[in-house]
């Protein structure tokens, strides 16, 4: 589709751009230092964007001369990202970490990041892949270091920016080799070109794709590209940590799904997928090993943490590992499972982080000891946190169980060659029980239960319920999510 026609299907991004510009202008001209003003505009803008995402209906096609895809899959990821962003804005308004900071541009940066993730969700051209990843990364660097006077936040952003620049550099080098080998930057053309490559290019192709994998691995924090994650997550302001663990990860997974399913895969539509036969790639094994190592490493290190925030950081690595389980199968079922998991993960992980934000404010810290006796002192918070922990472990009847269920089904249905992944996944789930339940145990068995009861204010209760109710409700009745994902499981595919 040519540029002018594309504009009409680019509506969500346009609304988002307008939101960004308005946010900056409002920030410039606002006399008072009240930051909620900008956030109000941004919330309205993001809601409008969400509406635009749902309103732009068109059969799958490409925009801007084949550099972006417009399809239900992209819209799905966009909605997930938007919901996460809206929740994070609310968290931020509630969090007291930003006290004393001017947060006008914070919201604008957040919106630019959303824009980048929109592009990530729909990129089908190497240029847009690189651009979108960079936009998201740059914004996350700044946001991670937003607390300028906090050395930990500084350190987080320093590590993040250098590691991120390094990873994207490596990825870019890989992209350049791919471009050289195939002579094009479009996914579909690359796929066609790969078929005609002779075996002498195999090493170059391997090198380049592994370099690209390093970039993706950095984005979704998969072992061995995950090292920045715990440090950055711990140092960043907690709302940003929550955000980084959900939204960019969702977008990263979307990009990875597109890249692997459209470049390295034989077959024209999702139903007839299969790994590319001509080139001798060991993708199933490599991705399987990465997945298993990622979740094992995330879980085992999480056990040793004393800070709940850092524990959640490692747990988010482990969850990336779970989601990676479905990649080696390269089936539509696997993609389906990852999409479901993304939605489920959104609720439970953001919920856990919000409880963390609240508890850190009330108790003055983020370590396990600050949670002791919490179940008795703040009954609602305790119950809700228990729900989130159950859900993160994957126990029924919570969303975590449903997400894991579909992942395991996808892996097992893919054939006996993948059973070992499911096996390690199951073991890891058991291991993760240990540290998630440690939170619950600390809340209910430790500490002095006789202290007076603290009832959170109504707004906090509401936010908690908004996150906890879906965590249970969709664990019992998940058909709406299933339908949504089913309808969104439609890529743009060039025949």
Closest C-alpha among 59, 181, 69, 55 to residue 123? 69
How big is the CA angle at 481 (ends 358 and 416), to the nearest 5 degrees? Answer: 105
How do strand 274-275 and strand 265-266 relate by DSSP bridges?
antiparallel
Per CB under 8 A, the segment of 200-208, 239-247, 322-330, 365-373 that binds other proteins is 200-208
Bond preceding residue 190 cis, omega within 30 of 0 = no
State the nearest-atom distance from the C-beta of 271 to other proteins, in Å: 14
* Among positions 116, 235, 239, 252, the unique one binding other proteins when judged by CB under 8 A: 235
Please identify which residue in 431, 437, 466, 472 interacts with other proteins, judged by CB under 8 A. Answer: 431
CB nearer to other proteins: give 148 or 448. Answer: 148
In the set 155, 284, 376, 446, which binds other proteins (CB under 8 A)? 155
CA nearest to 279, candidates 261, 264, 269, 268: 264
Minimum distance of other proteins from residue 129's CB (angstroms): 11
426 scored as a contact of other proteins (CB under 8 A): no
Between 28 and 495, whose beta carbon lies closer to other proteins?
28
Torsion over CA: 209, 215, 217, 219 (sign): negative
What is the smallest separation between the CB atom of 405 and other proteins, expressed in angstroms? 9
Among 16, 114, 120, 161, binds other proteins (CB under 8 A): 161
Nearer to other proteins by C-beta: 282 or 417?
A: 282
Q: Say if strands 68-70 and 265-266 run parallel, antiparallel, or are unpaired.
A: unpaired
Is residue 218 near other proteins by the rule CB under 8 A?
yes
Least distance CB 53 / other proteins (angstroms): 22
Q: Considering the rule CB under 8 A, would residue 58 count as an interface residue with other proteins? A: no
CA distance 433 to 56: 42
Residues in 163-182 at the binding interface with other proteins, rule: CB under 8 A: 163, 165-170, 172-173, 175-177, 179-180
101 contributes a contact to other proteins by CB under 8 A:
yes
Stretch that binds other proteins, among 18-26, 47-55, 262-270, 357-365 (CB under 8 A): 18-26
- Least Å distance between CB 419 and other proteins? 20
Residue 379 Cβ, how far from other proteins at the closest point, in Å? Answer: 10
Q: What is the closest distance, in whole angstroms, from the C-beta atom of residue 214 to other proteins in the complex?
A: 5
Does residue 454 touch other proteins according to CB under 8 A? Answer: no
Mark residue 244 as left, alpha or beta (left: phi above 0; alpha: psi -120 to 50; beta: remaining).
alpha
**With binding defined as CB under 8 A, does residue 272 bind other proteins?**
no
Question: First-to-last CA distance in the chain?
Answer: 16
- CA triple 175-180-181, angle to 5 deg: 100
- What's the length of the chain? 495
**Among candidates 15, 97, 229, which has minimal Cα distance to 106?**
97
Question: Quick check: 482 binds other proteins (CB under 8 A)?
Answer: yes
Is 422 one of the binding residues for other proteins (CB under 8 A)? no
**Taking the complex as a whole, how short is the minimal distance between the CB of residue 336 and other proteins, in angstroms?**
11
**Given candidates 118, 187, 211, 424, which one binds other proteins under the rule CB under 8 A?**
211
Can you tell me which of 41, 70, 188, 225 binds other proteins, judged by CB under 8 A?
A: 225
- Give yes or no for a contact between 144 and 138, defined as CB atoms under 8 angstroms apart: no
In the shown chain, the binding pattern of residues 366 to 385 toward other proteins, with x for contact by CB under 8 A and - for none, equals: --------------------
Query: Does 415 sit near other proteins (CB under 8 A)?
Result: no
* Touching other proteins, residues 70-89 (CB under 8 A): none
Q: Which of 281, 376, 444, 484 binds other proteins (CB under 8 A)?
A: 281
- Residues 294 to 333: which contact other proteins by CB under 8 A? 296-297, 300-301, 303-305
CA atoms within 13 A of residue 88's CA, in its CB half-sphere: 30
- How far apart CA 311 and CA 113 sit, in angstroms, is 25
Q: Which is nearer to other proteins, 33 or 269 (CB)?
A: 33
Q: How many residues bind other proteins (CB under 8 A)?
A: 86
Q: Is 457 in the site for other proteins (CB under 8 A)?
A: no
Instruction: Based on the shown chain and the rule CB under 8 A, indicate whether residue 27 belongs to the binding site for other proteins.
Output: yes
Tell me which stretch binds other proteins (CB under 8 A): 88-96, 264-272, 279-287, 317-325. 279-287
Q: Which is nearer to other proteins, 142 or 330 (CB)?
A: 142
Quote the least distance from Cβ 473 to other proteins, whole Å: 12
Asked if 445 is part of the footprint of other proteins (rule: CB under 8 A), the reply reads no
């Amino acid at each position: 589709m040519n540029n002018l026609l594309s504009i009409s299907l680019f509506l969500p991004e346009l609304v988002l751009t307008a939101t960004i510009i308005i946010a900056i202008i409002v920030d410039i001209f606002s006399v008072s230092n009240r930051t909620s003003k900008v956030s109000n505009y941004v919330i309205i803008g993001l809601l409008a964007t969400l509406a635009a995402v749902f309103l732009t209906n068109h059969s799958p096609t490409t925009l801007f001369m084949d550099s972006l895809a417009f399809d239900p899959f992209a819209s799905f990821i966009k909605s997930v990202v938007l919901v996460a962003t809206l929740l994070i804005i609310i968290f931020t308004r509630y969090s007291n970490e930003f006290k004393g900071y001017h947060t006008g541009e914070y919201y604008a940066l957040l919106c630019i990041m959303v824009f980048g993730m929109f592009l990530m969700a729909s990129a089908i051209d190497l240029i847009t892949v690189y651009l979108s990843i960079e936009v998201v990364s740059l914004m996350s660097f700044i946001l991670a270091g937003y607390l300028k006077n906090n050395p930990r936040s500084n350190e987080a952003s320093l590590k993040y920016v250098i590691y991120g620049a390094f990873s994207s550099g490596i990825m870019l080098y890989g992209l350049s080799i791919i471009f050289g080998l195939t002579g094009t930057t479009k996914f579909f053309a690359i796929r066609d070109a790969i078929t005609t490559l002779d075996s002498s290019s195999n090493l170059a192709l391997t090198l380049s794709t592994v370099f690209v994998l390093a970039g993706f691995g950095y984005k979704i924090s998969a072992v061995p590209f995950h090292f920045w994650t715990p440090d950055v997550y711990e140092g960043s302001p907690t709302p940003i940590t929550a955000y980084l663990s959900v939204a960019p990860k969702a977008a990263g997974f979307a990009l990875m799904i597109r890249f692997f399913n459209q470049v390295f895969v034989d077959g024209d539509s999702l139903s007839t997928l299969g790994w590319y036969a001509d080139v001798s790639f060991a993708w199933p094994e490599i991705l399987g090993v990465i997945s298993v190592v990622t979740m094992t490493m995330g879980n085992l290190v999480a056990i040793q943490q004393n800070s709940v925030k850092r524990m959640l950081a490692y747990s988010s690595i482990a969850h990336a590992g779970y989601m990676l389980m479905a990649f080696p199968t390269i089936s539509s079922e696997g993609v389906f499972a990852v999409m479901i998991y993304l939605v489920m993960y959104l609720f439970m992980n953001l919920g856990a982080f919000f409880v963390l934000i609240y508890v850190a404010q009330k108790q003055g810290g983020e370590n396990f000891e600050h949670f002791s006796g919490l179940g008795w002192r703040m009954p609602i918070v305790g119950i809700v946190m228990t729900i989130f922990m159950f859900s993160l472990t994957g126990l029924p009847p919570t969303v975590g169980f449903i997400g894991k269920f579909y992942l395991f089904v996808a892996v097992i249905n893919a054939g006996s060659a993948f059973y070992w992944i499911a096996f390690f996944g199951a073991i890891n789930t058991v291991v993760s029980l240990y540290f998630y339940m440690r939170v619950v145990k600390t809340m209910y068995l430790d500490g002095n239960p006789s202290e007076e009861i603290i009832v959170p204010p109504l707004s906090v209760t509401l936010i908690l319920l908004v996150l906890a109710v879906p965590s249970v409700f969709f664990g019992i009745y998940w058909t709406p999510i299933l339908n949504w994902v089913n309808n969104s499981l439609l890529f743009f595919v060039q025949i």
